[in-house]
Every structure is written in structure tokens, then in C-alpha cells.
Structure 1
């Protein structure tokens, strides 16, 4: 009997670990290189609102962090929420990540303060949060509702991060990342209804 038939759950978990581990490795290697070699100069590749060159940050910003504390603070919620996004289908992670980067990134670019630079994986974290909290509402099945409730209990307090608060924190990234996750929850639900 093949390994695929024996351990489908084990194979799926290895895939999840590989995907999340790859993202985290990129986060950490990039920040360590930025600290040791580039002296923080990589941060300029973040989202710079209203600047054409700042559009490149839509792709790069989630992989850049201001310092080790910023990176450490983002790593655990990224892994936990990212894994929860994958629980029903691994492909959901890629859809939510893509839509969050695009919607969140353009939202920051349009509404962020001119001359500011927005970086950090929190745009993805809030996208995953939005997806997980609203998935139960859109899909209305027991598993999705339970997951939404669990995430609400564990991470619901993060929602206040979408409001203007401490200086130096990109509440725009949090808000539009969250909205990107909500859009992903709605689109994935519609797609599953269409094909079911």
C-alpha cells in the first residue's frame, strides 16, 4: 500500500508545515539580511502610498519587517491563523493570501499617508483573521461556524487593530488586509456553492 493511501492526513500536515515554514523562513532570512547587510534599506521596498514606485510594495511589504520585535510579534499569529485557513482546503490559503495582498496593498496605497512606508506580515494576518471570522457567516456549515467562534475567542481582540491607534502602526494595512480576507471568504463560499 502506498504512503499516500496510508497517511493522507500526515501528508496534508507536512504540506501545511512546508508552506508555512517557507513563508516564515523568507520573513526571517530577509529581516536578518536587512539588519546585518542592508542596514534597514530593504524597508524602502514597502508600500509607499500615492507613489508609483511604491506599488512594488504590494508584493514585497508582507515579507519585510521593521525590526526583530516586529518580526517575532508577527510570526506566531501568522503561523496559527495561516494554518487555520488551510484546515478545510490547502488551496484556500493561496486564494486568501493573494486577495489579501492585492486588496490590502491597494487599500494602503490609496489611503495611507503620502511619504509613509508600510511593511509587515500583519496585512496577511488580518486577512486571515477576516477570512476566518466571516467564513462561518458565509458558509453556514458547522465546521466553519465552529472555527469562526474559536478564532473569535482566541484572536477577536485583534479586530481593534483596524482602527487608528499607535503611531508607526499601519492600521490601514490591518483594515484593508481584513477586508481582503472578508472578500476571500465570500468568493470561496460562492465558488463552493457553484460547484456543489
Structure 2
């Protein structure tokens, strides 16, 4: 986000995520997300009020919670959206084909929200950021990094390349001003958590319980987003009184 601006047993648990031969075929949700982001970028260009209505600052999101998600569909410039959409295309299409359409959507959206949650949590450290606006899809995209990391670990594939790429990106975010590294870390952790939960469900429903898998995946999804809602409410319940006091 930008501020202001493989063993055989593993295949039974989770399909391997491969970044080779990435394409939109078999990844309609990824394609839809790219289209939505591009459309919203055009909307920003022709309607200056989009930023005021949809961008998130911790204080604005307290009064208008939809900003926690809508802010991830805004971008600060051409290079910002081009880089994010390239990463979404590469990572999203691979993850979506591996986990399925609706679970991919859940991982993406949950990561985006946890990225926003991390920005709110940072206000405890830096209170002046409560009114600082943050936009961009980077938190959700870092969640896809988390999904690939978990999938590679579970399938016995090397994760060193992912860790190096993450390290470079996080170092860049820390060095260059105007980049929300908090959202990046939060999104990555959100992707790790959501993917680990779905993998746990796959393990839980192997064999004769496989027919119950979809039900448990739905329960897990409700639990993830419910935990986010409770966690965010708890942050605000402590944060707002402390600032007013």
C-alpha cells in the first residue's frame, strides 16, 4: 500500500502453487480483481471525490468501516497500479488455480483487511498516523505471498526465493518514504493465517470426511472474517478512548 498518494503426500493436503506458466485461464477471480482495480483507477482520474469517499485512514475507517476494504482498490499513480497489477497477475492466477476460486477470493480479501487492521494497530505506536490516508492493493498481494509460502512449505518446496523477494520488498518499503510497510506485514500475516486454516480443513476432512469439506471451509471462512471483525472492534475500543482521554 502507498500512503497518501513436493512430495506425493502433500498433494492430498493442498495442490502445489507454481508460478510457471502463469495465465488468466482458470483464474476468473484474479481477472475480475485486476479489472476492478483498473476501473477504480480510471474512476479516480475522472472523479476527484473517490479518494475522499473510499480511501482509509484509521480515524475515517472508525466512522465508515467500508474504507477498510475499498481503500485497497485505489492507487496513487500509474506506476503504483502497474506494479501491483503485475504482481496480482503473477501470484493471483497461480494461487487461484491451486486453491479454487472462492477460497482465493477469501484469502485475498482477508489479507487486505488484515493489512488495514495493521495500519490501525500502528496508531498505538505513532498516534499522528490516525488521520493518515493509505491506499493500494499491496496488503492483499502480500497475503498471496503468504499463501505461496505456506503451500511451498507444506509441499516440501523451497521457500528461499519467496523469502528473498519478501525481504527485498520490505526493505524497499522501509527505506522509501510513503509506503505502508505495516499493511504489507499485516497482509502477509493474513495470507499465512487464512491459507494455514484452509490447509488444516483439508487435513481434517481427508478420507471418509471429504464430503464435509465444503461445509468446514465455509465455517472456517466465517470464523476468519469474524475474528477480523472482533479484533478490529477491540483495537478501536481501546484506541479511541485512549486518544480522547
TM-score of Structure 1 vs Structure 2, range by shorter chain: 0.7 to 0.9
Gaps of 5+ in 1: 1-12
The aligned residue for residue 167 of structure 1 is 177
The aligned residue for residue 203 of structure 2 is 193
Gaps of 5+ in 2: 1-23, 124-128, 207-245
1:115 aligns with 2:125: no
Q: What are the within-5 Å matches in structure 2 for residues 58-77 of structure 1?
A: 58-77=68-87
Q: What are the within-5 Å matches in structure 2 for residues 114-193 of structure 1?
A: 114-137=130-153, 140-141=154-155, 145-146=156-157, 149=159, 152-153=160-161, 156-162=164-170, 164-193=174-203
Structure 1 runs (4+) greater than 6 angstroms displaced: none
Cα distance, 1:134 vs. partner? 2.4
Q: What are the within-5 Å matches in structure 2 for residues 17-96 of structure 1?
A: 18-35=28-45, 37-39=46-48, 41-44=49-52, 45-51=54-60, 52-53=62-63, 55-90=65-100, 91-96=102-107
The aligned residue for residue 105 of structure 1 is 116
Secondary structure of 2:57's counterpart equals coil
Secondary structure of 1:87's counterpart equals helix
- Superposed CA offset, 1:23-70 (max 9, x none): 1111111111211x213x322322212441353221101110011111
TM-score by length of 1: 0.78
TM-score by length of 2: 0.64
CA distance in 1, matches of 2:163, 2:67: 27
Further displaced range: 93-102 or 73-82: 93-102
Cα distance, 1:79 vs. partner? 0.9
Secondary structure of 1:168's counterpart equals coil
RMSD: 2.3
Secondary structure of 1:88's counterpart equals helix
CA distance in 1, matches of 2:83, 2:58: 24
Which is higher, the Rg of structure 1 or of structure 2? Answer: 2
